[in-house]
Amino acid sequence: MDIFSARPASFKDSSAGRPYHILVVDDSPLDLHFLLNGLSDNFVVTFASSAQETLCLVNQFPQPDIILLDVVMPEMDGFEICTRLKNDENTQNIPVIFVSGLDATVDKTKGFNAGAVDYITKPLELEELEARIQTHIRLKEQSQYLESMAYFDPLTRVANRRKYNEVLQREWARCIRYHHQMSMVIIDIDFFKEYNDTYGHSEGDNCLISVARLLEVTVGRPTDIFARIGGEEFVLLLPDCNAVGAVQKAEKILEILAHAQIPHENSHIENHLTVSLGVATMHPSHGHSALSLFQAADDALFSAKRDGRNQFAIAEIEGNLGITGEQARQHH
């Protein structure tokens, strides 16, 4: 789903461009099978009759949009299944509705405490069930939409500084744990003030969008992130990446921009748009914050600007934390 596209005007238009997928978990699903046949064609239904089958199906793509979960099940009851789904970051956002013959308040409360969004007692009314399912899917889509708005830059649609900061903190901790290196490349457009002055602010905006589209492809792994962290400043964060890999990324970025030839007649150094880059690699450790990696890359960026722009510079980091520029060049 394009996170910036308008939300569906009516429930008929699934934002995923397909019918919504309901996973029904029930050890004796015959009654439900019969009832759910009456659902509109906005939905497709899959059945699971055990905890094991459920935990397998929820991790298959595309994941269910919603789960209808029975309480009384052999081996593992519905409360336990729900708790497991909510404790797993891959499945915690799938809304769970309990569907049960147990109508005591204590059971309903237990269901909500396990993380369910609703608890419906049997016998079921199809119309009410469908209305509740629609409401919960809509609420989930709205909260997903709001969440993505908070994490993406509205102009370029790449991750914003907030998202970058969260990923940086998380990946820094992970690299400490596994003794992996982490690299960062800060990318700053050269003479962007002149670009705006020459072509106008609106063309400047379009230019930022073009640069984002061109450079986001340098993200190679699911843990990498490309973000806009300032007006004309982007960052490529590369967990589990050594200095040689980071230098290769910086070279690739220079190559992409040289190839794109975005006109910039007042750039002072070329007749097309260029960028300067600061590259840093560290062995994350408890004694240092993730900010030290950013600081090192930023200092390197300053050197690249000072030395003439349209180039990268590698951070010189003292001690056993960092990889010196000389080492990176030799490996390369």
Ligand X SMILES: Nc1nc2c(ncn2[C@@H]2O[C@H](COP(=O)(O)OP(=O)(O)OP(=O)(O)O)[C@@H](O)[C@H]2O)c(=O)[nH]1
Q: Figure out which of the listed residues 208, 212, 253, 315 binds ligand X, where binding follows CB under 6 A.
A: 208
**Which residues neighbour 264 within 8 Å (Cβ) at sequence distance 6 or greater?**
191, 194, 195, 198, 270, 271, 272, 273, 274
Size of the site for ligand X (CB under 6 A): 16
Question: From edge to edge, which strands make up the β-sheet containing 312-314?
Answer: 225-230, 233-239, 182-189, 275-282, 312-314
3-state SS assignment for residue 115 = coil
Here the tokens at position 329 are 């060049």
Q: Binding ligand X by CB under 6 A: which of 43, 119, 172, 191? A: 191
Q: Are 68 and 99 in contact (CB under 8 A)?
A: yes
User: Please, what is the minimum distance in Å from the beta carbon of residue 191 to ligand X?
Assistant: 5
**What single DSSP character describes residue 138?**
H
* Coil vs helix vs strand at 303: helix
Minimum distance of ligand X from residue 213's CB (angstroms): 15
Q: What is the contact mask toward ligand X in residues 150 to 169, using x (rule: CB under 6 A)?
A: -----x--------------
Interface region with ligand X, contact rule CB under 6 A, candidates 23-31, 67-75, 166-174, 191-199: 191-199
Site string for ligand X, 19-58 (x = CB under 6 A): ----------------------------------------
| Whether residue 216 lies in the annotated active site | no
Under rule CB under 6 A, which residues in 277-316 are in contact with ligand X? 305, 309
Q: Are 236 and 219 in contact (CB under 8 A)?
A: yes
Phi/psi-derived region of residue 282, left when phi > 0, alpha when psi is between -120 and 50, beta in every other case: beta
**What is the rounded CA–CA span in Å between residue 239 and residue 265?**
37
What φ, ψ does residue 227 adopt, rounded to 5°? -135, 155
CB 199 within 8 A of CB 147: no
- Single out the residue of 79, 152, 192, 226 in contact with ligand X (rule: CB under 6 A): 192
Q: Does 201 bind ligand X (CB under 6 A)?
A: yes
DSSP SS3 for 289: coil
**Residue span binding ligand X (CB under 6 A) among the ranges 72-80, 159-167, 175-183, 202-210:** 202-210
Half-sphere exposure of 274 (CA within 13 A, CB side): 20
For residue 111, give the nearest of 133, 135, 85 by alpha carbon: 85
- Give 105 or 202: the residue with its C-beta nearer to ligand X: 202
Region near ligand X per CB under 6 A, out of 72-80, 204-212, 240-248, 250-258: 204-212
Whichever of 11 and 199 has its CB closer to ligand X, that residue is 199
232 touches ligand X (CB under 6 A)? yes
Round to whole Å and give the CA distance between 297 and 317.
10
Name which of 95 and 204 has its Cβ closer to ligand X.
204
Instruction: Residue 149: name the closest of 7, 247, 17 by CA.
Output: 7
Using rule CB under 6 A, residue 210 touches ligand X: no
Choice among 232, 251, 255, 318 that is catalytic: 232
Contacting residue, 83, 135, 196, 285, with ligand X by CB under 6 A: 196
Q: Applying CB under 6 A, does 323 fall inside the site for ligand X?
A: no
Is position 193 an interface residue for ligand X (rule: CB under 6 A)?
yes
Q: Residue 189 interacts with ligand X (CB under 6 A)? A: yes
d(CA 158, CA 129): 38
Residue nearest to ligand X (CB): 231
188 interacts with ligand X by CB under 6 A: yes
- Cβ(228)–Cβ(153) below 8 Å: yes
- Choosing from 190, 257, 314, 325, the residue that interacts with ligand X (CB under 6 A) is 190
Residue 118 is a binding residue for ligand X (CB under 6 A): no
Residues that bind ligand X (CB under 6 A): 155, 188-193, 196, 201, 204-205, 208, 231-232, 305, 309
Catalytic residue numbers, as ranges: 232
